[in-house]
């Protein structure tokens, strides 16, 4: 478990959070700029000092202001990836990587040079100088450098925000490998919902220095009481399990979690039982009173209406649905809602026009 | 031989004074510059202004106050007498103290600029990579501020070589102890030895040019923070 209680006040901003986060997997601190997510991360690292704070990572307490304990950042077993890679310009790539590594006693090293360079695909860059690298390469080295300190917690502060979308998509697969292959809990600060949906297992939603919600990603993104749902890109993330592959039509079947229902996506074949994350945008889900058999739409699921709220404009409403245990969101016009006489408990068919495969 | 042995001894004394002053200034100037570049304390303004005072004050003013403080009735003079060292006025040690104060801004300011340019990020990175503050100073700050240290050393040395007013006020004109090149030239001119003065003045012009040439050439080899 990661326990973080912080109370910090600047002239125009106050951070007040009390978080209990899973001690494994990727937890996203998600919010707009100014929501306090970076300050939160810096306090956990000890780069900033909350006057009233308690930080515990698994069995290590890093700050407890009640007993006056404050472990300085260089004595905390953490890795920190900054928004700009911040490589040391006076050192080669190899010396940058070794900077942290050689300060870790041999017996405590759990990630070695070969593993880190292989994981991030930077073996061919070791003798180069940071000035001669692309932004994406620099950031991969920044991540490897942090990993080489064998951290008990990896803190990442918008590691992709300074990169263009091409570089981003170049790094994301490496971050996924990190998630799959290393057993290091990650706190990932981001304001990009697509990154969070793709990488995070758990999400903390921050606004104005307060945590509005904290929970598993699938459930939390589908909650209608959070401002997450209001935007045009409202949607849910579903972690399905590969259950079949239709080689003729090249369609992959995914079983939805906690449900007997399946969805199909166009995708290359994958091993049965493998997990695949997909995102279904609320605007891509339409509702039908009857099952529409003669339609080009591939995915039709029987759903129950749970709740309805206003969307970001007056023409639309957002509807939270239950597809055999998996939450779904639909964004429909107010006109259609009245035509269908939509009400909680109603059984309908959801037609899903598009599914984005995340990972 | 155009330069007399008195000229050579003045040159040697000048080099000795300037080298010692530069070394002392690098040692005490580095923490001052580091503090000035990092602190958010109210004292930053006043301390910075005091360090910069020699830039604007006439050297005779600095020399006058040093003469009073280091003299037999001054606080510092009484302290050195209590230690059994006598007074430091009209001695080489007194000249070193005077030069350190006089050349202070020329060392502190380039260092302060270099430290400010590094910013706090590299220090934070080093801390998250388990480097303690001393380790960070030697492995990150020192190498990144190298151009600043080079500039500070050159300026501190050169400015001490060019000092005249302070020397005259607190050091007088004692051969081998306080008679530096600038005072020696003054003596030559007073004695109407224009040829001697020419040679020594020429050496100073060449020296000053070479120093500035080194300084401006080194500007091109700075490394940026990426």
Residue pLDDT, tens place only, A259-308: 788 899 988 888 888 888 888 888 899 999 888 888 888 899 999 999 88
Burial code (b: 16+ CB inside 10 Å, e: under 16) for A94-120 equals: bbbbbbbbebbeeeeeebebeebbebb
Give the pair of three-digit tokens for residue A112.
């070695």
Query: Which of A5-14, A108-117, A218-227, B2-11 shows the lowest mean pLDDT across its residues?
Result: A218-227
pLDDT value for B223: 44
| Domain limits for position B121 | 5-221
Exposed/middle/buried for B66, CB within 10 Å: 0-12, 13-18, 19+? buried
Q: How far is A81 from chain B (nearest CA, A)?
A: 9
State mean pLDDT over A21-49. 92
Q: Rg of chain B over CA atoms, in angstroms?
A: 20
Beta strands in B17-153 (DSSP E): none
Q: Which residue of B has its CA nearest to A45?
A: B128
B129, B135, B136, B137: which to substitute to probe chain A, counting the most A Cβ within 10 Å? B129
Residue among B130, B143, B226 whose CB faces A149 most closely: B130
Does residue B11 have a pLDDT over 50?
yes
Please give the pLDDT value at position A227.
67
| Residue B226 pLDDT | 34
Percent of the residues in chain A that have a pLDDT greater than 90, as a whole number: 52
Mean of the pLDDT values across residues B190-207? 92
The confidence score (pLDDT) of residue A162 equals 81
| Better-predicted residue by pLDDT, B119 or A12 | B119
Confidence band for A230, pLDDT divided at 50, 70 and 90: low
pLDDT of A224 strictly over 80: no
The pair phi, psi for residue A123, each rounded to 5°, is -55, -35
Listed in sequence order, the residues at least 6 apart from A78 whose beta carbon sits closer than 8 Å to its beta carbon are A44, A45, A57, A149, A151, A152, A153, A154, A155, B128
The closest of A302, A304, A277, A278 to A290, measured between CA atoms, is: A302
Average pLDDT (A230-241) is: 78
Residue B226 domain-assigned (yes or no)? no
DSSP state of A149: T
Joined tokens for residue A264: 């199909």
Nearest to A358 by CA among A278, A281, A284, A282: A278
Question: What does DSSP assign to residue B223?
Answer: P
Q: Residues B110, B155: contact at Cβ < 8 Å? A: yes
Task: Please determine, for residue A34, whether its predicted confidence score (pLDDT) is greater than 70.
Answer: yes
Q: Which two tokens stand for residue A120?
A: 């991030």
**Interchain proximity A73–B224, CB inside 8 Å:** no
pLDDT at A223 over 80: no
* DSSP β-bridge partners for residue B93: none
Q: Is A99 within 8 Å of chain B by CB?
A: yes
Q: Residue A74: which of B122, B127, B223 has the nearest Cβ?
A: B127
Of A89, A103, A149, the CB nearest to B223: A89
Residues A126-147: tens digit of each pLDDT: 999 999 999 889 999 999 999 9
Strands A316-323 and A326-333, by their bridges, are: antiparallel
Lowest-confidence pick of A90-94, A223-227, A344-348, B24-28: A223-227
Q: How far is CA A145 from the centre of its chain?
A: 22
A84 neighbourhood in chain B, CB within 8 Å: 121
pLDDT value at residue B64: 93
Query: At B152, is the pLDDT very low, low, confident or very high (cuts 50, 70, 90)?
Result: very high
Of A45, A104, A130, the CB nearest to B130: A104
A23 touches chain B (CB under 8 A): no
Q: What is the DSSP code string of A5-74? A: EEEEE-SS-EEEEEEEE-SSSEEEEE--TTSSHHHHHHHHHTSS--SEEEEEETTEEEEETTTTEE--GG
pLDDT at B22: 96
Spell out the domains of chain A, with CATH numbers in brackets: 2-221 (3.40.50.300), 235-357 (2.40.50.100)
Q: Mean of the pLDDT values across residues A338-353? A: 92
Cβ–Cβ gap A82/B224 under 8 Å: no
Residue B40 belongs to some domain of the structure = yes
CATH number (domain holding residue B137) = 1.10.3720.10
A contacts of B122 (beta carbons < 8 Å): 86, 88
pLDDT at B127 over 50: yes
Would you say residue B170 lies in a domain?
A: yes
Contact A89 B127 (CB under 8 A): no
Say which residue the tokens 């994350």 belong to. Answer: A277
Q: What is the mean pLDDT of chain B?
A: 90
Closest chain A CA to residue B142: A90
CB contact under 8 A, B139 and A99: yes
**Quick check: B121 and A86 CB within 8 A?**
yes
Q: Looking at the partner chain, which of A78, A90, A100 has a beta carbon nearest the beta carbon of B144? A: A90
pLDDT at site A5: 94
A36 touches chain B (CB under 8 A): no
Tokens 């697509």 sit on residue: A194
Strands A78-81 and A153-157 turn out to be parallel
Q: Which residues of B touch A146 (CB under 8 A)?
A: 128-129
Using CB atoms within 10 Å of the CB of residue A12, give its burial: 0 to 12 exposed, 13 to 18 middle, 19+ buried: exposed
Q: Which residue of A has its CA nearest to B225?
A: A89
Q: How far is A141 from chain B (nearest CA, A)?
A: 13
Q: Provide the pLDDT for residue A314.
A: 86
CB half-sphere exposure, A282, CA atoms < 13 A: 28
pLDDT digits (tens, 9 = 90+) for A324-340: 888 888 999 999 999 99
Are B128 and A74 an interchain contact pair (Cβ–Cβ within 8 Å)?
A: yes
Half-sphere exposure of A123 (CA within 13 A, CB side): 7
pLDDT digits (tens, 9 = 90+) for A161-213: 888 888 888 888 888 888 778 889 999 999 888 888 888 999 999 989 999 89
Q: How many CB pairs under 8 A join A and B?
A: 67
Asked if A79's CB is within 8 angstroms of B127's CB, the reply is no
The answer to whether the CB atoms of A100 and B129 lie below 8 A apart is yes
Looking at beta carbons, which residues of chain B come within 8 Å of A79? 128
Predicted confidence at residue B57, as pLDDT, reads: 93
Evaluate if residue B225 carries a pLDDT over 80.
no
What residues of A are in contact with residue B222 (Cβ under 8 Å)?
A: none
Domains identified in chain B, total number: 1
For residue A203, give both structure tokens. 């999400």
By the CB < 8 Å criterion, does A86 face chain B? Answer: yes
Q: Is B176 left (phi over 0), alpha (psi -120 to 50) or beta?
A: left
Contacts of A316 (CB under 8 A, 6+ apart): A331, A332, A333, A334
Residue B149 lies in a domain: yes
In chain A, whose CA is at the least distance from the CA of B127?
A: A74
In chain A, residues with a C-beta closer than 8 Å to the C-beta of B137 are none
Instruction: Give A12's pLDDT tier (boundaries 50, 70, 90).
Output: confident
More confident residue, A196 or B134: B134
Provide the pLDDT for residue B1: 57
Test mutation, B122, B123, B126, B128, chain A, max A CBs within 10 A: B128
Q: Provide the sign of the torsion angle of the four alpha carbons A276, A277, A281, A282, taken in this order.
A: positive
- pLDDT at position A359 is 66
* Residue of chain A with shortest Cα separation from B136: A74
């Amino acid at each position: 478990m990661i326990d973080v209680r912080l109370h910090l006040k600047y002239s125009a901003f106050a951070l007040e959070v009390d978080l209990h986060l899973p001690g494994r997997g990727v937890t996203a601190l998600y919010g707009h700029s100014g929501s306090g997510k970076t300050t939160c991360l810096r306090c956990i690292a000890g780069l900033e000092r909350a006057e009233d704070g308690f930080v515990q990572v698994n069995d290590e307490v890093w700050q407890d202001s009640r007993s006056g304990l404050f472990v300085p950042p260089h004595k905390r077993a953490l890795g920190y990836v900054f928004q700009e890679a911040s490589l040391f310009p006076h050192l080669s790539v190899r010396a940058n990587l070794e900077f942290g590594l050689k300060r870790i006693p041999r017996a405590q090293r759990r990630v070695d040079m070969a593993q880190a360079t292989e994981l991030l695909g930077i073996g061919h860059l070791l003798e180069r100088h940071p000035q001669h690298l692309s932004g994406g390469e620099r950031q991969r080295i920044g991540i490897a450098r942090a990993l080489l300190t064998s951290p008990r917690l990896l803190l990442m502060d918008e590691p992709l925000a300074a990169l263009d979308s091409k570089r981003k998509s170049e790094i994301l697969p490496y971050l996924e490998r990190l998630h799959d292959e290393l057993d290091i809990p990650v706190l990932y600060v981001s304001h990009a919902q697509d990154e969070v949906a793709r990488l995070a297992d758990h999400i903390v939603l921050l606004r104005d220095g307060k945590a509005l919600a904290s929970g598993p990603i699938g459930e939390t993104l589908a909650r209608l009481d959070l401002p997450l749902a209001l935007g045009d890109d409202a949607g849910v993330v579903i972690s399905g399990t590969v259950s079949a592959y239709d080689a003729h039509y090249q369609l992959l079947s995914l079983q939805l979690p906690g449900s007997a229902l399946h969805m199909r996506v166009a995708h290359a074949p994958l091993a049965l039982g493998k997990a695949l994350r997909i995102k279904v945008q609320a605007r891509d889900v339409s509702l039908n009173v009857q099952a529409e058999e003669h339609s080009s739409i591939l995915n039709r699921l029987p759903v129950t209406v749970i709740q309805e709220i206003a969307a970001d404009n007056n023409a639309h409403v957002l509807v939270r649905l239950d597809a055999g245990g998996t939450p779904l969101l639909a964004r429909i016009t107010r006109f259609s809602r009245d035509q269908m006489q939509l009400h909680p408990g109603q059984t309908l068919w959801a037609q899903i026009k598009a599914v984005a495969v995340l990972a | 031989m155009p330069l007399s042995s008195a000229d050579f001894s003045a040159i040697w004394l000048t080099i000795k004074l300037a080298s010692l002053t530069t070394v002392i200034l690098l040692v005490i100037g580095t923490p001052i510059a580091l503090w000035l570049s990092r602190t958010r304390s109210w004292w930053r303004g006043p301390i910075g202004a005091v360090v910069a005072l020699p830039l604007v004050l006439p050297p005779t003013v600095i020399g006058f106050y040093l003469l009073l403080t280091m003299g037999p009735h001054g606080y510092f003079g009484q302290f050195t007498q209590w230690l059994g060292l006598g007074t430091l006025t009209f001695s080489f040690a007194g000249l070193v103290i005077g030069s350190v104060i006089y050349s202070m801004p020329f060392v502190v300011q380039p260092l302060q600029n270099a430290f400010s340019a590094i910013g706090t990020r590299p220090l934070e990175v080093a801390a998250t990579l388990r480097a303690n503050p001393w380790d960070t100073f030697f492995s990150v700050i020192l190498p990144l501020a190298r151009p600043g240290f080079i500039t500070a050393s050159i300026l501190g040395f050169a400015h001490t070589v060019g000092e005249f007013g302070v020397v005259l006020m607190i050091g007088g004109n004692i051969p081998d102890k306080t008679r530096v090149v600038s005072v020696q030239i003054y003596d030559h001119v007073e004695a109407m030895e224009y040829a001697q003065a020419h040679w020594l003045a020429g050496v100073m012009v060449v020296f000053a040019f070479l120093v500035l040439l080194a300084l401006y050439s080194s500007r091109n080899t700075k490394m940026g923070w990426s």
